[in-house]
Structure 1
Amino acid sequence: MANDDDTQALERAYQPSPGLGVAVSDPAVNPGVPPHRERMTDKDPKVERTAARTVYTLFYLSLAGSIWAVAAYMLFPIESGSLIDVRYNNLFIGLGIALALLSIGIGAIHWSKTLMNDKEFIEHRHPTRGRDSTREAAVQAFADANEESGFGRRTMIRNSLIAAVVASIVPGVTLFRGLAPFATPDNPQAGDPVALLQHTMWKAGTRLVHDPEGTPIRAADVTLGSAVHVIPEGLNELGHAGGLLEEKAKAIVLLMRLRPEQLIESEERKSWSYNGIVAYSKVCTHVGCPVALYEQQTHHLLCPCHQSQFDVTDHAKVIFGPAARPLPQLPIAVDDEGYLIATDDFNEPVGPSFWERH
């Protein structure tokens, strides 16, 4: 503890020096509200009408953008398999949606700046009580807002805004049409996601090849701790018109090599790996993102979208995250030339788990 001499020394050190004064400023004065400046729309009825026409024109332009986005979806169908259609589909749908949302935003801002009441006022705070007078005041506040904004009085602006907002939702709803094609007489399974994802290009004898080069993979070239992106042989020959993208989305695989003693394998799956090499679907069982991040030391696969983690040593079981089931395993072996081949297709549908499964 400090003695009395130390305490006195500290007090002297914090005393102001002789001759130095402390300036004390006057209390801050409220400058008040600046003088109100009238807008041109407040002074000139012609300018006001022009501003109103601008606002509802923007809202109708938004309506046109939404309609164009839906039309572009039908004019450039991605189901055609044409790469040009896919590009135009994304381009024109995006432009239509951008025009729809941007026009609503600009129109609403222009409305508030040029036509809505801009008189300054002070709202004094007071305790809130759940009385009838409070409810009546709330109703009156909505009525005042309607009067000040002109929402109920300016029918062209109101109707165009309602039409634009309703239409802006339509393109998003339309895009859901492409998630599950309808069944047709030529393709009765098109409306059944389980049937579509039950079978892929993998079959007995199909070689595992590098993605995207398409070169076969020798088992001896797969090093310990490596992770290789794999597709089935012959996939690249399909072309876009032949369903390349659709088949690749289902058949993509990640190949990894561990020490054989590190694998925990059930009796029925002991023949599905080769000398510590295992292959699992890259399609996450949560919402279908590509599972492509491999932690070499922990042997965990990580989905970058929602952080689901799978244990490669134990049948790719889920150890963390929202995924509901393990990644489907591709049974593999080696042919006479030492190349890795599949011995069968996946034994269950690939992809997300939220679809009903048989």
Structure 2
Amino acid sequence: MGDQSHGSPQEAGAVAKAQAGSVDTIQDPGLPPHRPRLTDTEPRAAKRAERQVGILFAISMIGTILFLVGYFAVGHAESIAETRLQNMLLGLGTAFAMLGIGVGIVHWARTLMPDHEIAESRHEVRTEEDRRDAEEIIDTVLEESGIKRRPLIRNTLIGAIALAPLPALFILRDLDLTKASAGEIVERLRHTAWDEGVRLTRDPVGTPIKASDVQIGSAFHVIPEGLNELEDPLNEKAKAVVLLMRLHPDKMEISPEREDWHYDGIVAYSKICTHVGCPVALYEQHTHHLLCPCHQSTFDLTQECKVIFGPAAHPLPQLPITVDDEGYLVARSDFHEPVGPGYWERG
């Protein structure tokens, strides 16, 4: 009998089209029948949904305003209570600003925008006629969304979108109010409130610590003496806070250049994790490990706070210490390396 030839692709396409009844439109691929929503049949329900969407967009605007109140009215907080209030206002404001827009758009789409599914063929846009068709599609989408005939939704959406970027803009602007160069910023990160002769004091009361106060197994959260007298004490504290502990000298591995950085087993290390800057606040007395609760970076106190687990890439910076004539613990100098998360100059 032999194989029969099917002809060219064009002929095969013509045959398929003829077999389909020469229908240019896409047939229903099996989608379930559309079930009208209450807002499709009841004008009062549609109006109620429109008001709800408007309220959600208004909540977004109120959230942004709340952020700005916290940012400007509270200003640069100078106490822990003011800092907590400001952080609460900033957090709640940002949450409501983003949540209002997101939930509002979802509710708008679920209740007022057309929800029927369609299937249509797609062609490359090449001609002027195709361009006009594309414009008509856009106009149809705008019409179906109801944004033209629903001024409440349109106006509240415009207001919410207009206000939403303001928190990010002000936060970015506040990264450096002095307009310092990148080199100046890095230089500031390299230095803290610690200096030669500055006493170690308990955080937050600020009472000096004697070497005799520090027992093996104990841990103190420490700040520099006179910290509250500085121009920006909270930011300075964020860089300068340290953990003070005491080990038996025989259990410590000490580098030759750090032989005089401790006093009779008393050591001080930066409390700021070198991963993303979380406070290292957990001290395991039996293992002599310091643990960061954010991402579980673990530092071995007996090995100069070397990283033994977790994502941190650098050991905790050590603060050189000694005692003064009255027996109080004092710093020998500032940290010899920048504190906090590793950045581009730390390798």
TM over 0.5: yes
Distance in 2, matches of 1:134 and 1:51, equals 30
Deviations 1:256-301 (A, max 9, x none): 1111111111111101111111111111111111112111122111
Q: Displacement, 1:205?
A: 1.4
Distance in 2, matches of 1:216 and 1:95, equals 38
User: Which ranges in structure 2 are unaligned for 5 or more consecutive residues?
Assistant: 1-31, 123-136
Query: Which residue matches 1:27?
Result: none
Q: 1:183 aligns with which of 166, 178, 185?
A: 178
Query: Which residue matches 1:15?
Result: none
Residue identity matched to 2:97: A
Q: 1:253 to 1:91 in 2, by over 3 A?
A: closer
The aligned runs of 1:233-252 (5 Å cut-off) are: 233-235=225-227, 237-238=228-229, 242-252=231-241
Q: 1:345 to 1:189 in 2, by over 3 A?
A: farther
Distance in 1, matches of 2:94 and 2:85, equals 14
Secondary structure (helix, strand or coil) at the match of 1:326 reads coil
Query: Which residue matches 1:320?
Result: 309
Residue identity matched to 1:183: T
Distance in 2, matches of 1:307 and 1:83, equals 26
2:191 equivalent to 1:199: yes
Query: Which residue matches 2:26?
Result: none
Q: Displacement, 1:107?
A: 2.8
Q: Displacement, 1:78?
A: 3.8
Distance in 1, matches of 2:210 and 2:79, equals 34
Q: 1:48 aligns with which of 46, 49, 59?
A: 46
The total of aligned residue pairs comes to 301
The aligned runs of 1:1-358 (5 Å cut-off) are: 39=38, 41-55=39-53, 57-58=54-55, 60-62=57-59, 64-65=61-62, 67-69=64-66, 71-72=68-69, 75-76=72-73, 78-79=75-76, 81=78, 86=83, 89-108=86-105, 110-112=107-109, 114-116=111-113, 152-155=145-148, 156=150, 157=153, 161=157, 164=160, 167-168=163-164, 170-172=166-168, 174-178=170-174, 180-184=175-179, 188=180, 192-235=184-227, 237-238=228-229, 242-356=231-345
Q: 1:294 to 1:91 in 2, by over 3 A?
A: closer
Distance in 2, matches of 1:303 and 1:108, equals 39
Residue identity matched to 1:207: R
**8 Å contact kept, 2:274–2:340:** yes
Q: Displacement, 1:311?
A: 1.4
Distance in 1, matches of 2:204 and 2:330, equals 17
**8 Å contact kept, 2:71–2:90:** no
Indicate the RMSD between aligned Cα atoms, in angstroms.
Answer: 4.0
Distance in 1, matches of 2:205 and 2:68, equals 37
Moved more, 281-290 or 65-74: 65-74
Distance in 2, matches of 1:357 and 1:37, equals 62
Distance in 2, matches of 1:83 and 1:292, equals 18
Residue identity matched to 1:270: E
Q: 1:214 to 1:74 in 2, by over 3 A?
A: closer
Q: Displacement, 1:61?
A: 1.2
Q: TM-score, normalised by structure 2?
A: 0.71
Deviations 1:62-114 (A, max 9, x none): 55236525643653364474778756643543443343234335534543554
Distance in 2, matches of 1:309 and 1:270, equals 23
Q: 1:307 to 1:166 in 2, by over 3 A?
A: farther
Matched-pair identity in %: 49
User: Which ranges in structure 1 are unaligned for 5 or more consecutive residues?
Assistant: 1-32, 122-132, 137-143
Secondary structure (helix, strand or coil) at the match of 2:330 reads strand
Distance in 2, matches of 1:98 and 1:151, equals 30
**8 Å contact kept, 1:194–1:355:** no
